[in-house]
């Protein structure tokens, strides 16, 4: 199989961590991938004036999968600037139609010590958030009249159906438990969300559905995170809850994400930003990007065994290797990447 992967390094540490992920993809046994590199974010603004140049969109549309680093940084952060880096990312998600954002959370025992939660609460945590990514308040009409501002939160049945189906499919392939998060006691969009979820879940008799209100979910994530398998929710609630979940992981640097639409093509990126404070020094943690590459292998290319091999190699590195500074170590990005590659090669 000769899959085409569009690589969008972006800004700050983006190029450093995507290089690591590409090296690991190249190291995956027996696969031939074609990589092409394209501009997005601040570097694209500098080069073309546009945070998402047409050539980048075209390349991503033609690719089997897109691997992204991060966008943004102080150079482009003036709120009054005519264009901003994150507009490029939002526009890319929208044009690719990636409405389901997957964020797995597992807490490796060595990182449990870095988490704000006690290690015993983190034992056995293995969950995936499925956040709706292209609807809700972030995409609704925004108006401002004098002292009054309005952000419209809007969802259609079709928008809820497709993301809930993705979540049901995922739950079916995992431990068969789905938690849907809403605020159905107050919000009309949440009542539509809940009714639609109930209806779709009937097509998945092997999946057990429960509902949680978002405020209570925020608490349950801290008190019993190991009780959850797949958690599906709308855009704004998902934005907040996934950051909360990321904090449990012990570092921003280790968490991957996948954004999926109807087909197999997806957008894969670590959850962290461009980390301008450490950019260019070769010390960024590449694990979030490398685990994003594993998700790419699984969800866009159907290479489940290869994805599992990358995850096992990362686990082995977390077990015993020197780690980067965010995890209390002294290793460079390259050293951690080489350690992952060594473990990958060892299992061949």
Q: Is 174 marked as a binding-site residue?
A: no
Q: Is 183 a catalytic residue?
A: yes
Q: Is 204 a catalytic residue?
A: no
Answer for which of 253, 256, 261, 266 binds ligand NAI (CB under 6 A) is: 253
Give the integer Cα–Cα distance in Å for 15 and 72.
Answer: 12
- Residue 140 Cα to chain centre, angstroms: 22
Exactly one of 22, 230, 284, 314 binds ligand NAI (CB under 6 A); that residue is: 284
Pick the catalytic residue from 46, 118, 142, 215: 215
- Determine which residue in the list 239, 244, 315, 342 makes contact with Mg ion, applying CB under 5 A: 239
83 marked among binding-site residues: yes
Q: Please identify the residue of the shown chain whose CB is closest to the bound ligand NAI.
A: 273
Residues 57-116 touching ligand NAI, rule: CB under 6 A, are 70-73, 77, 86, 89
Which of these segments, 119-127, 139-147, 226-234, 280-288, binds ligand NAI (CB under 6 A)? 280-288
DSSP assignment of 154-193: ---HHHHHHHHHHHHHHHHHTTSEEEEEE-TTT-HHHHHH
Strand partners, 123: none
Q: Please state whether 176 falls in left (phi above 0), alpha (psi between -120 and 50) or beta.
A: left
CA end-to-end distance (rounded Å), the chain: 19
Task: State the DSSP code for 64.
Answer: S
Quote the CA–CA distance of 245 and 103 in Å, as a whole number: 9
Contacts of 147 (CB under 8 A, 6+ apart): none
275 binds ligand NAI (CB under 6 A): yes
Active-site residue, from 126, 138, 338, 342: 138
Residues numbered 275 to 304 that lie near Mg ion (CB under 5 A) are none
Instruction: Give the interface size with ligand NAI as a residue count (CB under 6 A).
Output: 24
Q: Does residue 67 contact residue 6 with C-beta atoms inside 8 Å?
A: yes
Q: Which residues make up the interface to Mg ion (CB under 5 A)? A: 239
Residues marked active site are found at 138, 183, 215, 239, 243
Please give the residue ranges that form the binding site for ligand NAI (CB under 6 A).
13, 17, 70-73, 77, 86, 89, 252-253, 269, 272-278, 284-285, 288, 324, 326
């Amino acid at each position: 199989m000769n899959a085409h992967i569009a690589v969008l390094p972006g800004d700050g540490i983006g190029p450093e961590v995507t290089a690591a992920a590409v090296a690991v993809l190249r190291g995956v046994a027996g696969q031939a991938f074609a990589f092409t590199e394209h501009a997005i974010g601040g570097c694209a603004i500098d080069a073309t004036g546009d945070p998402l140049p047409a050539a980048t969109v075209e390349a991503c549309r033609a690719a089997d999968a897109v691997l992204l680093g991060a966008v943004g940084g102080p150079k482009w952060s003036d709120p009054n600037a005519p264009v901003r880096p994150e507009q490029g990312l939002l526009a890319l998600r929208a044009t690719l139609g990636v409405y389901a954002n997957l964020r797995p959370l597992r807490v490796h025992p060595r990182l449990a010590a870095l988490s704000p939660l006690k290690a015993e609460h983190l034992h056995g945590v293995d969950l995936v958030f499925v956040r709706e990514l292209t609807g809700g308040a972030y995409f609704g009409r925004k108006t401002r009249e004098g002292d009054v501002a309005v952000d419209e939160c809007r969802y259609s049945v079709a928008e809820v159906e497709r993301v809930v189906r993705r979540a049901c499919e995922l739950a079916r392939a995992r431990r068969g438990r789905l938690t849907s998060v809403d605020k159905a006691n107050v919000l009309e969009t949440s009542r539509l969300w809940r009714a639609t979820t109930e209806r779709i879940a009937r097509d998945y008799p092997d999946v057990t559905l429960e509902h949680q209100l978002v405020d209570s979910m925020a608490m349950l994530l801290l008190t019993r995170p190991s009780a959850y398998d797949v958690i599906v929710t709308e855009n704004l609630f998902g934005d907040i809850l996934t950051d909360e979940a990321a904090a449990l992981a012990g570092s921003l640097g280790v968490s991957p994400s996948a954004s999926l639409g109807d087909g197999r093509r997806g957008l894969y990126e670590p959850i962290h930003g461009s980390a301008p404070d450490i950019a260019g020094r070769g010390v960024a943690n590449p694990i979030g990007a490398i685990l994003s590459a594993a998700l790419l292998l699984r969800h866009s290319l159907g290479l489940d065994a290869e994805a599992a091999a990358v995850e096992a190699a990362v686990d082995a590195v977390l077990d015993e290797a020197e780690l980067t500074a965010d995890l209390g170590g002294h290793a460079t990005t390259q050293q951690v990447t080489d350690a992952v590659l060594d473990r990958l090669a060892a299992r061949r």
